């Protein structure tokens, strides 16, 4: 998003998990990170995300394996909601404050090429910003998702409460996060292509 010369950058809201290109992010306190995380959990996008995850798992009869009958989708939907919620809470509300990391995603925008933006997005599960703005290992996401994967042993089917299954859940969650960041990086471009408004306008 282009910035007019001499004009200060637009400021994103403290409840924005994804900072649009050209916008300035406000500093977050530890409580601000908790509020941001809780707000993000109760968005339509979050519900769509775990519904799609449950639908894919149901269509492929994948993990968690509840079967393919009518009741199985409901069980998968509940499991996906718990898993996504716990991932967000552990990473954004617990580890991000403890590790002094910024839990937000900063969109690069169309000032960069597609390859650069894609590589940037898929590496965000591994690399994040500290509260001071420096790049660092994304400990809050990596540890938060590990804790959420371990927690699945409390509600996944008994045959999937193994170290191998937990590792598989963890890997799939990291991959899902990377895909989610790619979506966030390019969603405004897609909206513009079909002549719809961006999430925010400067």
d(CA 104, CA 36): 9
Looking at the predicted structure, is the pLDDT value of residue 13 above 90? yes
Please state, in angstroms and as integers, the Cα–Cα distance from residue 63 to each residue in 24, 151, 152, following that order. 39, 15, 11
* Structure-model confidence comparison of residues 190 and 32, the more confident one: 32
- What's the predicted TM-score (pTM) here? 0.88
pLDDT band at 4 (very low <50, low <70, confident <90, very high): low
In tens, the pLDDT along 81-100 reads 999 999 999 999 999 999 99
What percentage of residues in the chain have a pLDDT greater than 70?
93
* 3-state per-residue secondary structure call for the chain: CCCCCCCCCEECCCCCCEECCCEECCCCCHHHHHHHHHHHHCCHHHHHHHHHHHHHHHHHCCCCCCCCCHHHHHHHHHHHHHHHHHHHHHHHHHHHHHHCEECCEECCCCCCCHHHHHHHHHCCCCEEEECCCCEEECHHHHHHHHHHHHHHHHCCCHHHCCHHHHHHHHHHHHHHHHHHHHHHHHHHHHHHHCCCCCCCCC
β partners of residue 105: 18
């Amino acid at each position: 998003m282009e910035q007019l010369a001499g004009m200060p950058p637009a400021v994103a809201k403290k409840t924005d998990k994804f900072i649009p290109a050209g916008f300035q992010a406000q500093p977050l306190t530890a409580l601000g990170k908790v509020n941001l995380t809780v707000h993000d959990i109760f968005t339509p996008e979050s519900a769509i995300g775990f519904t799609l995850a449950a639908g894919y798992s149901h269509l492929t009869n994948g993990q968690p394996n509840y079967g393919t009958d009518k009741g199985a989708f409901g069980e998968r939907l509940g499991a996906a909601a718990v898993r996504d919620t716990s991932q967000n809470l552990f990473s954004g509300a617990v580890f991000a404050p403890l590790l002094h990391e910024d839990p937000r995603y900063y969109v690069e925008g169309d000032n960069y090429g597609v390859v650069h933006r894609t590589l940037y997005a898929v590496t965000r599960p591994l690399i994040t910003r500290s509260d001071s703005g420096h790049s660092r290992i994304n400990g809050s996401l990596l540890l938060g998702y590990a804790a959420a994967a371990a927690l699945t042993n409390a509600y996944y089917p008994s045959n999937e409460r193994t170290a191998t299954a937990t590792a598989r859940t963890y890997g799939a969650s990291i991959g899902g996060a990377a895909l989610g960041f790619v979506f966030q990086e390019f969603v405004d471009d897609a909206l513009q292509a079909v002549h719809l408004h961006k999430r925010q306008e400067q």
